Amino acid sequence: MTGTIDRVAGDSVRPITPLGILVEQLEAIVSEAKGSVSADLMTKLQAAYQLAAGLDPYVEACTTAESEDLAAIAARTRSERWSQHFSDGETVRQLEQEMLSGHVEGQALKMFVSMTRAKRILDIGMFTGYSALAMAEALPSDGYLLACEVDSYVASLAREMFDRSLHGSKIEIAIAPALETLRKLAEAGETFDFAFIDADKKRVCAVFSTAARLEFVDT
C-alpha cells in the first residue's frame, strides 16, 4: 500500500506509511514552531520537512507510468464512498481507499512478474483489483491470475474494471475467505509461479502457512 493518494471526492485520506506519517508530523511541527524557535532551528525543521515530503513525489516521477486501465481503477477507488458502503451493509468490513496498491507498488509487481517469467499467479487480497491487473499486464497472452477476495462488492467493481482491459480476461476472481480458497487449491494440487500476499494483516501468517502448501513452479 502507498500513502500518496490525492484527495478527491471520496472519503478523506490519511497517511498510512511510515514516511507519510512522518511527513504529517513534520508539517505539524513546522507549523507549531513558527515564531517560537530560532531562525536557524526553523530552517532545519523546514529542510527536514521538505526532504521527507519530496521523497514520494520523486519516486512516483521516476517510476514507469501506469496504464490507462490502472489509472481508471485508482480513480474509481478514490471516488468510492467506502464508509457509506459499509454503513449500508454493501461491504463485509470497513474498507478504505488507502488499501489500493498504487502506482509504485503496481509497477514493482509487474517487474517481478516479468523477471520471473511467471505464467500462473496467485493474488491474495485483491481489493479493487489494481495489483491483480498490474501483474496481469505483465503476463503472456496465455497467462492466468487467480485473485482471492472476500468482499463481493469490491469483487464486482474489480470485475467491471477488468472487463474494460485487454488483460482482464487473464484474471479469475475467487470470492471467499482466502484460507478457504487456498485449502481448496492445495487439495486440488494446483500449482503457481508467483504469489502476492496482501490479505488481512491479522491473518497473514495463517494465509502464508496455507499458501506454502501449494506447489510453486521454479520458472
pLDDT digits (tens, 9 = 90+) for 48-101: 999 999 999 999 999 999 999 999 999 999 999 999 999 999 999 899 999 999
Residue 189 lies in a domain: yes
Residues 47 and 77 in one domain: no
Q: Is the pLDDT of residue 6 over 50?
A: no
Residues 24 and 98 in one domain: no
Residues 184 and 169 in one domain: yes
**How far apart, in whole angstroms, are the C-alpha atoms of residue 217 and residue 219?**
6
Residues 83 and 103 in one domain: yes
Residues 87 and 35 in one domain: no
Calculate the CA dihedral of residues 160, 162, 166, 170 and round it to 10 degrees: -130
Residues 22 and 115 in one domain: no
**How far apart, in whole angstroms, are the C-alpha atoms of residue 152 and residue 173?**
10
Q: In angstroms, what CA-CA distances link 108 with 122, 195, 198?
A: 16, 14, 14
Domain extent at residue 39: 18-61
pLDDT in tens, 150-179: 999 999 999 999 999 999 999 999 999 989
Residues 49 and 78 in one domain: no
**How far apart, in whole angstroms, are the C-alpha atoms of residue 48 and residue 154?**
39
